[in-house]
Homo-oligomer: A and B are copies of this chain.
Amino acid sequence: MAAHSSPTITTIAQAAGVSIASVSRVLNGLPVRAETERRVLDAADRLGYVPNAVARSLKSARTHQIAFAVEDIGNPVYLAMLREIQPLLKAAGYRLVLHSTGADAAEEIEVLRGLGQRYADGLIIVPIRVTREHLAELRAVEAPVVVIGSLPDDGLADNVRTDSRRGVDMALRHLTGLGRRRIGFINGPADTVPGHARSEAFRAGTARAGLAVADGTVHEGRFDRETGARAVHRMADGPAPMPDALLCANDLIALGALDALRSRGLDVPGDVAVVGMDDTDLAAVSWPPLTSVSLGSAERGALAARLLLDRLGADADLSAPRAVTVEPRLVVRASTGGAHVVDDGSAAG
């Protein structure tokens, strides 16, 4: 290449031996592998590339909008995230574009692809199923994205996750500590990221504790109240003895279970202790108040907003994607007979 011509993305890509897309991602501050970043920056340096001009021109095209995409904004978990995200974005001068996708993977793909049309400067997305198409779009996407939830590949995007397996373990330890041995499990769809993690953790945790799981005491449905109620009625009508404790994969399932247990004349926690997950606003309001594993929805929302705002920041020289994990906490209430106690696992190590 001629020494007098200004370096371009194409000439940098040639010099670095990487794709044009990778150069674009590095220069735009998007996540890439560390090795790719090093090669691009070395080549840009060698060629005398001045990145600020591009950065300035990109900045002028900003929409001052950030998108937030969730499965169902009616779910209190996502509302808890939204309540943290919205004021942080507002304070930073961004409008919030809300997508409620109905867990439709095709629609989530459209949301990711739509960022190419520059309707938003960045995206926070909570996919409950991560397909190959999600991963391909995350690799190609032209704006910063923060994923809340587990990703199979750490290098793709900024990522905020929780450890729901550890949360299931905390709930099981709590129930066995109360002397409960016949623990039933009511899950959402096991083909979702959260459903799969909870199912695996329940299987491993009960095996480790030497608990027999009776036939007909593990149910799978949706993450809703109807699933909880239906599962309780099936267990009560089934041949196995009623479990003396129920672990529910979220609070909505647990609330449905509480309703059904009441309608069956079963006492909570006398006959059956009940634990939910997510520690939503509903847990404290329900009767009896619901013991629940907090998966830090509010914290996860706030962290995701901060990661995205960092990346959109004026002097952001980030490129490696970052991952943050929020630890679960067990919030003990009357549905397991406890006084109000928060176990953050610090004693258990």
Contacts and interface: CB of A to CB of B under 8 A. Distances in A.
A98 B86 contact: yes
Given A282-B282, A286-B285, A95 B74 contact: no
A73 B65 contact: no
Number of chain copies forming the complex: 2
Contacts of A87: 100
A79 interface: yes
B95 A96 contact: no
Contacts of A65: 97, 119
Interface string A83-117: 10011001000011111100000000000000000
Interface residues of A, number: 24
A287 B334 CA distance: 13
Interface string A274-311: 00000001100111100000000000000000000000
A62 to B, nearest CB: 12
Contacts of A86: 73, 98, 100
A286 B290 CA distance: 11
Nearest to A114: B95
A331 interface: no
B83 A79 contact: no
Interface in A175-223: none
A255 interface: yes
Nearest to A82: B73
Contacts of A73: 79, 82-83, 86
A89 to B, nearest CB: 10
- Centre residue among A74, A83, A87, A95 by max chain B CB count within 10 A: A95
Contacts of A83: 73-74
A288 B262 CA distance: 12
A97 B100 contact: no
A83 B281 CA distance: 18
Contacts of A287: 286-288
Interface string A119-138: 10000000000000000000
Given A86-B98, A96-B98, A285-B285, 9 more contacts: A65-B119, A73-B79, A73-B83, A82-B98, A97-B97, A97-B98, A281-B282, A286-B287, A287-B287
